[in-house]
Amino acid sequence: MNSLEAGRLGELIPVASYARTSEDFRQRDGHGVRYQLRINERIAHEHGCIGVAAYSDNGRGASKKGVARPGFDRLVEDLARGRTDSGLRIKGVVCVADDRPYRRADDLARIFAALTCRPGRGYVDSQGVRDPYSQDGLLQAVRSLDLAVTETRIRSRRVSDWHWARAVEGVPHSGPRPFGRQEDRITLHPEEAKLIEQAISDRIAGKAVRAIAADWCDLGVTGTRGGRPTRRRSHRSSPRQGSAAIGPTEASCC
């Protein structure tokens, strides 16, 4: 008798509960993962399961390679060995949606390999209990992955376009003061703006980038964080810095 059959006969299936949020920069209290874990409890009980261990990654995205997710790593390890550190058996995993544990193909492969390395396990979400060993179960996971990847690309492009438009209009961004602007990030810095304007003129006239950087070094110019100039290509190509040289109105019309 596998775990799915046991659940139908009234035996609660012990599952691991996983939650993840990509950002938590406003309240910084982990409320997002707490809410997900609570919803996981409800979903588990609705489908004859019970959460015996909770795993979470707060403020950690799953779209980019190299982002550490210790909660996910621990979940995969425990699924592979079939029990938690305290010795509790795990017969499946529950989460609110597929894009919580994975938004990349390698993470999908990791969790499904760990989940299906032993027989009789289930994958539970708001849609019900999924059979991870079946072709339909795997295809549904792949479709969810495809949707997540597409969503990530669209959102990334939208954010990139938004930042570009703000830069063209000379709208200040967060972070350190940009070279060529004063602390309000709008008003031109009288000396730095002249340097940028001269560098653009010199480059148009054919002067090498390294030669311009060398001139700045000779003048003792440093960046807003104290760094020495090496190559000033970014200053010349940035729409924001273009407005530092020729004014925001003209720059936005280029």
pLDDT average, residue stretch 1-30: 72
Domain architecture of the chain: domains with CATH: 3-134 (3.40.50.1390), 161-254 (no CATH)
How confident is the model over 49-88, as pLDDT tens digits? 999 999 999 999 888 888 999 999 999 999 999 999 999 9
pLDDT average, residue stretch 31-49: 95
pTM: 0.60
- Secondary structure tally for the chain: helices H, strands E: 10, 5
DSSP state of 83: B
Whether 10 shows a pLDDT value over 80: the answer reads no
Cα 238–241–244 angle (5° rounding)? 160
How confident is the model over 86-145, as pLDDT tens digits? 999 999 999 998 889 988 888 889 999 999 999 999 999 988 888 988 888 778 877 776
pLDDT greater at residue 230 or residue 161:
161
Supply the pLDDT for residue 239: 52
Residue 91: both structure tokens together: 């017969």
Parallel, antiparallel, or unpaired: how do β-strands 122-125 and 128-130 relate? antiparallel
Residue 180: both structure tokens together: 């060529």
